[in-house]
Amino acid sequence: MSNHSAEQPTTSHAPMEARLTVAALVHWQGRFLVVEEEIKGQRRFNQPAGHVEPGENLIDAACRELKEETGLTATPTAWLGTYLFKPADSEATFVRTALVFDLEKAPGQHQPEDPDGDVLACHWLTLEEIAECKPALRSPLVWQCIQDYLGGTRLPLSALKAFI
């Protein structure tokens, strides 16, 4: 019989600083919509994405970001997933909920309406073209979302709940 104390050692865990973001994975006839941004003086490629604003649910936030960053109005067809990402140069961890926008009709002409001025251009790229710009992707989540989409991940939008 051992004489171990019933008390467990206490550890202090600081709460994680998290930033809630959304992303729109937009697909049309074998191409993905990406935005070109300038981040810290470098050109980066990302899905239309951004922070959730106070009082906004995840679906509304994704639709707003899509409209602001690309000028495109669309309705999501599925939830792709929720991802955690901790950049090496940030104290914060990003909690990114990605939604799928499978377009049924041609997107037509659209331009960024970005009030922040971060988006330089919108591009419809094939998987091969995105793979070529992999070093310039804003985060590994851009590629991971595309891989999850191509792997068939589609979660019901009804699973996203908001009590705000």
What predicted TM-score, i.e. pTM, was given to this entire model? Answer: 0.88
Q: What is the pLDDT of residue 133?
A: 95
Mean pLDDT of 73-99: 95
Q: What is the pLDDT of residue 54?
A: 96
Nearest to 122 by CA among 39, 42, 26: 26
What's the pLDDT tens digit per position in 139-148? 999 999 999 9
What's the pLDDT tens digit per position in 37-73? 998 889 999 999 999 999 999 999 999 999 999 999 9
DSSP 58-118: HHHHHHHHHHHHH-------EEEEEEEE--TT-SSEEEEEEEEEE-SS---S-----TT--
* pLDDT band at residue 4 using 50, 70 and 90 as cut-offs: low
CA–CA separation, 83 and 25 (whole Å): 13
Mean pLDDT of 150-164: 97
∠ at Cα 55 (52, 60), nearest 5°?
55
CA–CA separation, 29 and 31 (whole Å): 6
Contact (CB, 8 A) for 44 and 137? yes
Instruction: Compute the 3-state secondary structure of the chain and give helix, strand, coil in percent, each to the nearest 5.
Output: 20, 35, 45
Mean pLDDT of 134-138: 96
pLDDT at 149 over 70: yes
Mean pLDDT of 122-143: 97
Q: What is the pLDDT of residue 34?
A: 98
Give the pair of three-digit tokens for residue 1.
């019989």
Q: What is the pLDDT of residue 10?
A: 58
pLDDT at 115 over 60: yes
Give the pair of three-digit tokens for residue 37.
């941004």
For residue 130, give Cα distances in angstroms to 9, 14, 44, 69, 152.
Answer: 49, 37, 11, 18, 19
Give the pair of three-digit tokens for residue 33.
């919509």
